[in-house]
Structure 1
Amino acid sequence: MLNKGILWVLRILVGGLFIFSGLIKVNDPVGTAIKLEEYFDVFSNDIAGFFYYLKPFALYLAVFLVVLEVVLGVMLILGVRSKFTVRALFLMILFFTFLTFFSAYFNKVTDCGCFGDAIKLTPWESFYKDVILTVLILGILALQKYLPTSSSSLAKGTVWAVGILCFVLSLTAIRNLPFIDFRAYKVGVNIPTNMQPSAPLQYSYVMQKDGQTVTLDSYPTEEGYEFVEMNLKNPDALPKISDFSAWNESGDQTDFVFAGNKVLILSPSMAKFNDKNLESIHTLVKSMENAPVDVILMAAAPQEEIDAFISSNNWSIVGLQADATVVKTMIRSNPGIMILKDGTVLAKYHHNNTPEAGEVLDLFIR
């Protein structure tokens, strides 16, 4: 009876964590795909070149993995094909543990994306989390003779319903934008504010004196101390955004982006710019020509390519360069549209949902 009770607790813990992790990523499968691409780049350089050829399939793999996480978690809790489920979870956690150890030990990918953008873990925190999960799953394997050997039609139907629902939600998030935005550029935030510390940064100083190591709250002015290292005491106060910048041949244009009414057309890659809804974007751009609004094409591309695209569409707008990672963080769409007023994000749109000019202008006067 005790073993069955322990097993039930382990099933709830492991299954619940996989469901939670998977649902967060179902909300943003594009973000998971971006993280997979980072791993494929690293692995292609450090392990084997064939990983590079997996990059075009990153989004498909992301959808498969995030749905699988949720489905396996539900199967474990409901006791559907229990032994198969535990073995599948064990193989999955071994894979994740390898990824997180590789990231932590070699400092290659500094955020594993285990919980999307909702919960940020350091590489070593991610690894320790996976080690704990591995131990819990090993506990289930040790008690597997107590696992359910059959399941009801209702439980099986629930698993199928959850899988289909998560798949549909993933596709919806891809074709639109994440249902919940956990990033530092979400609607309502002021980007310049997020670029500043939330409180004065406080440091401690590790010093050596007379063969002893001491930690001080301020840098010593007296002689005899040898500097060892400096540590941040309140890392939560660090700026949420540390890498935003926009520029062109005239120099840094970040302040210009944050001044007044702006419509940003964002593209993390002009080579992958989806022109499916270009006509709607063209209509929006043209409708803004006489409005008190600056329209900006901000892309991770050479300035010549940006300017050529603007010219080919006969747009009278500003073209700016930006870092690809920053643009991908700002919007999960290529292209995507962000509405700013004095640096505050008023709205974000997937190109499938390109707004009309009246809708945008209404945002500025609310």
Structure 2
Amino acid sequence: MNKQTLFWILRILVGGLFIFSGLIKVNDPVGTAIKLEEYFDVFSNDIVGFFIYLKPFALQIGVLLVVAEVVLGVMLILGVKLKQTVWALALMILFFTFLTFYSAYFNKVTDCGCFGDAIKLTPWESFYKDIVLLIMISILFIFRNELSDESPRWAGVAAILTLAGSLTIAVMAIRNLPFIDFRAYKKGVSIPTNMQPSSQLQYTYVMTKDGETFEFDQFPIEEGYEFVEMVLQNPEALPKISDFAAWNADGDQSEFLFAGNKVIILSSNMSKMDEANLDRLTALVKDLEGAPVDVIFMAAATQEEIDAFLSQQNWSVIGLQADATVVKTIMRANPGIMILRDGVVMEKYHHNNTPEATDILDFFL
């Protein structure tokens, strides 16, 4: 295999992975911003306080990063400005490798969000993936002067169109909702079912006897064994949702939410709630009065803040508290609307796409 063939293979592998990773995150830039906010919090506490000032710009930084992943991947494969592209990819992979190493070694951010919510990797898996990428990009970087810097005109046009298309998709996903929902609360999912483990949970029982260690698929009935630990063999069988809860002064209201017809207006941060479409939400609330559906306002706030907001808006609805992380996972809009029927997600709406009451009632006919 000659050098140019090796360079071409590396370009395909690296560029393809960057395009794949970037497209998944372009689909959900708000999710990327949430992950960046986690990193900025950690770094501001552990490294330097400056990172806290980046939090308000997490969404803009996230869009820049995910669009750059897609565009640089296309440029690498098509051979557009290869030397500059390899430089940019080298800097980007160094940044990503630092993030994943920090996550893994210090166990600070347990999911790097490398592939959004589509593919979950452990912190160490993410780090090893970046090490492989770092090696491949390093080879291209070392031999960058041997890479041809000439490309057909159509390749440059394709890169520009990729930039415009990726940016358009990202903006549309922000102003609406992700085009493809990879989360555990996507349309068609039964939340209470996802809160239950699979019946196929498999454990290995680690036991000791006479100084020796043994592993069993079933708990041994023979005497003389001393129990050490249970090791789960198929973590994918664990509940897909483990942190959902909604409550008020009367206690947990999750079972209430999973019974009958529910329209849930969600807010992950009331102080940052977009008020542009509150009039449309108010009209929806008023139009649903007397309908066979419970309207709930669920927010990551104190009950006093929730009650004050409902009074201010003159909404005669049920107010419930929830965890901010849970609300952000459910809904990539603040506020947003989720339609539930017996705990099954029928539809979700960005506040920009607030539906009519008749459209909602159609789900319950």
Compute the TM-score of the two structures, normalised by the length of structure 2. Answer: 0.97
Secondary structure of 1:177's aligned partner:
coil
Q: 1:289 is aligned with what amino acid?
A: E
Deviation track 1:132-184 (CA, whole Å, cap 9, x = no partner) reads: 11111122224434311222221111111100111111111000000100001
**Which residue of 1 is the match for residue 179 of structure 2?**
179
**Which residue of 1 is the match for residue 339 of structure 2?**
339
**Which residue of 2 is the match for residue 144 of structure 1?**
144
**Which residue of 2 is the match for residue 311 of structure 1?**
311
Q: 1:137 is aligned with what amino acid?
A: I
Secondary structure of 1:242's aligned partner:
coil
Q: 2:164 is aligned with what amino acid?
A: I
2:360 aligned with 1:360: yes
Tell whether the 8 Å contact from 1:208 to 1:227 is kept in structure 2 after alignment. Answer: yes
**Which residue of 2 is the match for residue 348 of structure 1?**
348
Matches within 5 A, 1:164-243: 164-220=164-220, 222-243=222-243
Q: In the TM superposition, what is the alpha-carbon distance from 1:206 to its structure 2 partner?
A: 2.0
Q: In the TM superposition, what is the alpha-carbon distance from 1:210 to its structure 2 partner?
A: 2.3
**Which residue of 2 is the match for residue 320 of structure 1?**
320
Tell whether the 8 Å contact from 1:209 to 1:225 is kept in structure 2 after alignment. Answer: yes
Q: 2:122 is aligned with what amino acid?
A: T
> Could you tell me how far apart the structure 2 residues matched to 1:225 and 1:55 are?
53
Tell whether the 8 Å contact from 1:243 to 1:326 is kept in structure 2 after alignment. Answer: yes
Q: 1:81 to 1:231 in 2, by over 3 A?
A: same
> Could you tell me how far apart the structure 2 residues matched to 1:87 and 1:158 are?
20
**Which residue of 2 is the match for residue 280 of structure 1?**
280
Secondary structure of 1:109's aligned partner:
coil
> Could you tell me how far apart the structure 2 residues matched to 1:247 and 1:150 are?
62
Deviation track 1:248-297 (CA, whole Å, cap 9, x = no partner) reads: 00001000001100000000111111111000000000111110000000
**Which residue of 2 is the match for residue 102 of structure 1?**
102
**Which residue of 1 is the match for residue 80 of structure 2?**
80
Tell whether the 8 Å contact from 1:3 to 1:143 is kept in structure 2 after alignment. Answer: no
Tell whether the 8 Å contact from 1:202 to 1:233 is kept in structure 2 after alignment. Answer: yes
> Could you tell me how far apart the structure 2 residues matched to 1:154 and 1:323 are?
49
**Which residue of 2 is the match for residue 59 of structure 1?**
59
> Could you tell me how far apart the structure 1 residues matched to 2:229 and 2:348 are?
42
Q: 1:336 is aligned with what amino acid?
A: G
Secondary structure of 2:114's aligned partner:
coil
Q: In the TM superposition, what is the alpha-carbon distance from 1:222 to its structure 2 partner?
A: 4.7
Deviation track 1:213-272 (CA, whole Å, cap 9, x = no partner) reads: 221223345554344332101111111111101000000100000110000000011111
Matches within 5 A, 1:13-32: 13-32=13-32
Q: 1:156 is aligned with what amino acid?
A: G
The percentage of counterpart residues that share the same residue type is 69
**Which residue of 2 is the match for residue 37 of structure 1?**
37
Q: In the TM superposition, what is the alpha-carbon distance from 1:302 to its structure 2 partner?
A: 0.3
Q: 2:21 is aligned with what amino acid?
A: S
RMSD: 1.2
**Which residue of 2 is the match for residue 261 of structure 1?**
261
Secondary structure of 2:345's aligned partner:
strand
Tell whether the 8 Å contact from 1:43 to 1:49 is kept in structure 2 after alignment. Answer: yes
Deviation track 1:308-342 (CA, whole Å, cap 9, x = no partner) reads: 11111111110000110000010100000000000
Q: 2:153 is aligned with what amino acid?
A: S
Q: 1:234 is aligned with what amino acid?
A: N
Tell whether the 8 Å contact from 1:274 to 1:334 is kept in structure 2 after alignment. Answer: yes
Q: 2:247 is aligned with what amino acid?
A: W
Tell whether the 8 Å contact from 1:196 to 1:239 is kept in structure 2 after alignment. Answer: yes
**Which residue of 1 is the match for residue 113 of structure 2?**
113
Secondary structure of 2:290's aligned partner:
coil
